[in-house]
Amino acid sequence: MTEMHAIVAPRGLPISHPGSLVDMTLPRPQLGPRDILVRVEAVSVNPVDVKRRASTTVPVVLGFDAAGTVEAIGEDVTHYAVGDEVYYAGAVNRPGSNAEFQAVDERIVGRKPSTLTFAEAAALPLTAITAWESLFERFRLTSESEGDLLVLAGAGGVGSILTQLAKKLTRVRVIATASRADSREYALAMGADLVVDHTGDLASAVLDVTPDGMDYIFSSHTKGSIEAFVKIAKPFGAITAIDGHPDLPLEKLQQKSVTWHWEWMFTRPVSQTPDMGEQRALLNRVAELVDAGTLVTTLQTTLTGFTAENLREAHRLVETGRTVGKVVVTR
């Protein structure tokens, strides 16, 4: 059987341990009818990669974001051909992108923006899907939508693309949170109208600039923030959270009739929903916006060389919680 190079997390270990991610040789994946086989050229590391690596009890190939070239196609594939350049975020219930080759369902794969390198493209899929679904499927914003949107961690991977989408495709005002000079500067460069510090009293910082409160709140740091949300959410406002925690006191939002949304970009591929193809359409739309100059890549740090050592460094950087934009490892 044909083999390939892969980078494996053998079990949950601290990233400082040299065995936390290791180079291995594995069989190439087999294709299902709707799968394409991608030769992976670049991957990015997200907080979900870090969490899975730290908690895994069995060997696993991690990685979601990827950009590469189609090497082979399944018998029922209709949207891609060998040689096509693609980008995607994969699925949490299948082997990941930290490998030379990956099998992925064509319905969740987009055509790589032609104006971007593989590294620049690999920075986008997971965060763009999360941001798009949050804005246009959870909040149901349109090109005519107005109001104030709070984006927690505006300089992070999701926050930096969500801010761009909100500013380019809606009429909302974006208030981002950031605590350091470099992250504040980056959030503003991504289009945020205002930036406030989230490390102190979040509610006071937000209400100082928007005394009437927020129509929409996007939260990637929900634990410990509900009390602030109660103060800053407008009556009948909406909150979308991407990080789940047990025992969140959501009942405190009841008196304002606030709508609470969960966003998990793996829902469609894991549940095999009838509209799985929406993710392909979404990624293709993002690619069009990038190629038109409307959106820019959120790549900020590139590590060259597809090795366990570089993946460990990428994980270490993301674990600090101080990265701006995205960290990518490329061949």
The string of pLDDT tens digits covering residues 225-244 is 999 999 999 999 999 999 98
Q: What percentage of the chain reaches a pLDDT higher than 70?
A: 100
Q: What percentage of the chain reaches a pLDDT higher than 90?
A: 96
Q: Are residues 63 and 154 in the same domain?
A: no
**Mean pLDDT across the stretch 317-330?**
95
**Mean pLDDT across the stretch 76-97?**
97
pLDDT at 82: 98
- Tell me which of 206, 240, 262 is where a domain ends: 262
Q: Are residues 132 and 242 in the same domain?
A: yes
Cβ proximity of 312 and 20 under 8 Å: yes
CATH number, domain of 295, equals 3.90.180.10
Q: Which helix (H) or strand (E) holds 87?
A: strand 85-88
Residue 200: pLDDT over 90: no
Distance, C-alpha 264 to centroid of its chain: 10
Q: Are residues 218 and 182 in the same domain?
A: yes
Q: Which one, of 166, 63, 129, lies nearest residue 287 by Cα?
A: 129
pLDDT at 146: 98
Average model confidence (pLDDT) across the chain: 96
pLDDT confidence band for 81 (50 / 70 / 90): very high
Count CB atoms within 10 A of the CB of residue 65: 28
**Mean pLDDT across the stretch 27-54?**
96
- Tell me which of 241, 262, 283 is where a domain ends: 262
Rounded distance between C-alpha atoms, residue 261 and residue 278, angstroms:
19
Q: Are residues 93 and 56 in the same domain?
A: yes
Strand partners, 219: 241
Q: Are residues 242 and 145 in the same domain?
A: yes
173-177 and 148-151 as β-strands: parallel, antiparallel, unpaired?
A: parallel
Q: Are residues 114 and 238 in the same domain?
A: no
DSSP letter for 218, please.
E
Q: Are residues 206 and 163 in the same domain?
A: yes
CATH number, domain of 132, equals 3.40.50.720
Distance, C-alpha 135 to centroid of its chain: 13
pLDDT at 112: 98
Rounded distance between C-alpha atoms, residue 58 and residue 210, angstroms:
48
Helix (H, G, I), strand (E, B) or coil at 221: coil
- Tell me which of 245, 262, 279 is where a domain ends: 262
Domain that holds residue 308: 3-124+268-330
pLDDT at 245: 84
Q: Are residues 134 and 90 in the same domain?
A: no
Q: Are residues 153 and 247 in the same domain?
A: yes
Residue 39: pLDDT over 80: yes
Distances (CA, A) of 228 to 121, 173, 184, 211, 238: 35, 19, 20, 14, 14
pLDDT at 198: 82
Q: Are residues 248 and 303 in the same domain?
A: no
Q: Are residues 140 and 237 in the same domain?
A: yes
pLDDT confidence band for 1 (50 / 70 / 90): low
Domain count, the chain: 2
Q: Kindly report the pTM of this predicted structure.
A: 0.96
Q: Are residues 244 and 274 in the same domain?
A: no
Cβ proximity of 154 and 163 under 8 Å: yes
